[in-house]
Structure 1
């Protein structure tokens, strides 16, 4: 079979590898779609991850079809459409430094257990939507970390896949008002399409003033704060942290799910005096299949997040596009029936 593998710093190649052998507790998945994550570009830049630097398989946002099933596996059958938990096997994390990746013709799921390592989805769900399950779980965990109440007013910085997924996550929990901030008009339009109540173009508008217009003034030691309860950073820019803390009222929460590649200074007197909660979010300890039912029920809305579908035969183009800032929202690699 063919697989996309990091072969050195700045280089990813499609190479021929042995098709996996299906053991009695395993299932073999024929890949149908795999999303491209920003971390894939990072792995390529640094030449892969230990212990497989120079030979790191790529792809950790998989959806596919079961084509072989071990004799000891229960609750699954050949032909099932499934979404996959790439973190289910700590010794072999799919596409994140393990010995297998989902940007390949086939993917072996060892010790396959429904609801733990993979979950079945209805056949009518488009493959590109199914491939959103993993990043949407990342977004849902960030939302859950904020412990939102229906009465909360929320602002999300960044209208990329995680930011848009967070809109849907907050909406699913009944949050009353959600604002999305971004620099790109097309992304802001998409945020409104999927259910944001308002958007702010930070290249054109005073973000704090607009938040006060939308959410009212907030109680704080000093004036000029917004009534926003939750600030979610899904952009990863230092200006987001500065803006959120400058706007935050007493008791507000700032959550960070975006990756910041450099340290960001914080003025802690403001944090202390207004008792602001700052928290981080990574991965999906419990959410990988919690999000699946909402994805299935509202797949037509989730489908709006996908901006590009590129066949595996052009996977290099997909990886390049996803690594180019502003070039794409969500890139999904698709696989044909002849894999």
Structure 2
């Protein structure tokens, strides 16, 4: 039996195991993973110790990894869409055995990944060798960010602020600028993240730990008012990529009449949010979940602007040190975007 190494969940750490290497069927393909990003969802599963296994509270270990890029090394006899040697990114939600790396049968933080019923545009798409594997591995999180921007329906004249300069927030800032939005502000409390935001194209940044957000937004976006005529910053669209209750409340407190709030971050429960305050601005709340159509919509622009997107990666860690990679991801403030690379190639 041929084996491969694969990363599974344990409690607050990873379990690297030797498992059976998949064998593709007639309509399947086998991808040799060359890079795979670590996501907040991965760390969520590690804090849980896996996924619930039943009503008794027990947990089952699951294979991790849903942000892969790699190359086709085997293709079934009936496969015509891809060929051996193609470099591909993957739609984790496009296979019948469950979401890759999120409770499905397969995880991409492995040496090889089986793509069942392989089909370009459905579960894989090919990218050129001009793009490093590590940057191509950003395809999935950048699809999440793109969906949030699509949901915002931002127009060039809109003034936009993004709260949270993690990978999704920074990705949203990039997509907003590529969409032609004239002024994008990014808010965070970590100076290094704000430096990255400027490097990828944000027009201004605000450190909410040291600056008054309301005053700074009024300074850069002008003055407007809410439905009661009370003064508010002229910001048209707020993007919450942070998920902290204080951010949600800050938007409610600052929103002008008919402003929008796009909620892409997973929200932490709180009783401190004054939802009634939304009435004073007729604030529109827009939820953004995943990437219903964006998973491969983003790929051509990711290819075109790959040097800009590469700035989102803070750590590149070889698979032989995958435990260290997850330790970085599990430690608040230690890393922004960690990508695990395989065979030393990125």
For normalisation by structure 2, the TM-score amounts to 0.94
Deviations 1:182-239 (A, max 9, x none): 1011110110000000000101110011000000011221423110000011111111
Partner of 1:244: 251
Partner of 2:176: 170
Do 2:249 and 2:274's aligned partners in 1 also have CA atoms closer than 8 Å? no
| 2-structure distance, mates of 1:239, 1:252 | 18
| 2-structure distance, mates of 1:306, 1:337 | 16
| 2-structure distance, mates of 1:201, 1:96 | 33
Larger mean Cα displacement after TM superposition, 245-254 or 264-273? 264-273
Partner of 1:144: 150
| 2-structure distance, mates of 1:92, 1:245 | 38
RMSD between aligned residues: 1.5
Deviation at residue 75 of structure 1 after TM alignment: 2.4
Matched, 1:42 2:44: yes
Deviations 1:44-77 (A, max 9, x none): 1112124594320000000000000111111211
Larger mean Cα displacement after TM superposition, 259-268 or 312-321? 259-268
Structure 1: tracts of 5 or more residues without a match: none
Partner of 1:232: 239
Query: Quick one: structure 1 residues 66 and 337, their matched pair in 2 at CA, closer, same or farther if it must change by over 3 Å?
Result: farther
Match 2:109 to one of 99, 103, 114: 103
Deviation at residue 90 of structure 1 after TM alignment: 5.3
Alignment of 1:12-27 (within 5 A): 12-27=14-29
Partner of 1:71: 77
Match 1:81 to one of 87, 106, 110: 87
Partner of 2:230: 223
Partner of 2:304: 297
Partner of 1:3: 6
Structure 2: tracts of 5 or more residues without a match: none
| 2-structure distance, mates of 1:272, 1:91 | 44
Deviations 1:17-57 (A, max 9, x none): 00101101001000000000011111011121245943200
Do 2:67 and 2:140's aligned partners in 1 also have CA atoms closer than 8 Å? yes
Matched, 1:157 2:163: yes
Deviation at residue 264 of structure 1 after TM alignment: 5.0
Match 2:31 to one of 24, 29, 34: 29
Match 1:116 to one of 105, 119, 122: 122
Matched, 1:200 2:206: yes
| 2-structure distance, mates of 1:145, 1:325 | 29
Equivalent pairs counted in the alignment come to: 337
Matched, 1:280 2:283: no
